[in-house]
Amino acid sequence: MPQQSPLTRIPLHTVDFDEVPKQQFRVYTARDLDKIKELQLLPESLRFEMKVVSAVLPFRVNAYVIEELIDWQRVPNDPIFQLTFPQKGMLSDVHYNRMAMAIRSDMDKQALKLVANEIRQELNPHPAGQLEHNVPCDSAGEPIPGLQHKYRETVLFFPSQGQTCHSYCSFCFRWAQFVGDKNLRMATTEADKLYGYLEEHPEVTDLLVTGGDPMVMKSRQLKSYLEPLLHPRFSHIQTVRIGTKALTFWPQRFITDDDADELVELLHHLVLAGKHVAIMAHYNHWRELDTDIARAAIRRLRATGAEIRSQGPLLAHINDCEDDWVKLWNEQIKLGIIPYYQFVERDTGARRYFEVPLYKAWQIYRQAMQKVSGLGRTARGPSMSADPGKVEIQGIAEMNGQKVFVLRFIQARDPSWVQQPFFAKFDEQATWFDQLQPADEHSERFFRKPAV
- Calculate the CA dihedral of residues 434, 440, 444, 446 and round it to 10 degrees: -70
**pLDDT, tens digit, 9 for 90 and up, residues 172-205:** 998 888 887 777 777 788 899 999 999 999 999 9
Same domain, 330 and 228: yes
Same domain, 42 and 16: no
Taking CA 35 as the corner, what is the angle to CA 349 and CA 214, rounded to the nearest 5 degrees? 50
Range of the domain at 42: 23-121
Q: Which residues contact 316 (CB under 8 A, 6 or more apart)?
A: 353, 354, 355, 356
Domain final residue, candidates 121, 148, 169: 121
Helix (H) or strand (E) holding 359: helix 358-369
Q: What pLDDT, on a 0 to 100 scale, did the predictor assign at position 451?
A: 58
Q: What pLDDT, on a 0 to 100 scale, did the predictor assign at position 17?
A: 62
Same domain, 216 and 341: yes
Contact assessment for residue 104 and residue 87, using Cβ atoms and an 8 Å cutoff:
no
Q: What pLDDT, on a 0 to 100 scale, did the predictor assign at position 374?
A: 96
Contact assessment for residue 364 and residue 379, using Cβ atoms and an 8 Å cutoff:
no
Q: What pLDDT, on a 0 to 100 scale, did the predictor assign at position 130?
A: 65
Q: Which residues of the chain have pLDDT under 50?
A: 1-10, 12-15, 452
Same domain, 62 and 195: no
Q: What pLDDT, on a 0 to 100 scale, did the predictor assign at position 182?
A: 72
Q: Which residues contact 118 (CB under 8 A, 6 or more apart)?
A: none
Q: Which residues contact 448 (CB under 8 A, 6 or more apart)?
A: 388
Domain final residue, candidates 93, 121, 149: 121
Same domain, 298 and 218: yes
Same domain, 411 and 337: no
**pLDDT, tens digit, 9 for 90 and up, residues 106-117:** 899 999 999 999
Q: What pLDDT, on a 0 to 100 scale, did the predictor assign at position 128?
A: 61
pTM here is 0.92
Domain final residue, candidates 327, 352, 377: 352
Q: Give the orientation angle of helix 93-104 with respect to helix 109-121, to 10 degrees.
A: 170
In 259-360, beta strands by DSSP E: 276-282, 307-314, 338-344
Sign of the Cα torsion 450, 433, 351, 175 reads positive
Q: What pLDDT, on a 0 to 100 scale, did the predictor assign at position 181?
A: 75
Q: What pLDDT, on a 0 to 100 scale, did the predictor assign at position 190?
A: 87
Determine the 3-state secondary structure of 278 from DSSP: strand
Q: What pLDDT, on a 0 to 100 scale, did the predictor assign at position 121?
A: 94
- For residues 110 and 191, give the distance between their C-alpha atoms in angstroms, rounded to a whole number: 34
Same domain, 298 and 213: yes
Same domain, 73 and 142: no
Same domain, 62 and 11: no
Return the closest-CA partner of residue 69 out of 255, 289, 253, 282. 289
Same domain, 85 and 220: no
CATH assignment at residue 189: 3.20.20.70
**DSSP, residue by residue, 390-422:** EEEEEEEEEETTEEEEEEEEEEESSGGGBT--E
- For residues 301 and 445, give the distance between their C-alpha atoms in angstroms, rounded to a whole number: 43
Sign of the Cα torsion 66, 117, 245, 188 reads positive
- The total domain count for the chain is 3
Same domain, 345 and 400: no
Return the closest-CA partner of residue 311 out of 372, 251, 250, 241. 241
Same domain, 17 and 48: no
Phi, psi at 374, each rounded to 5°: -60, -35
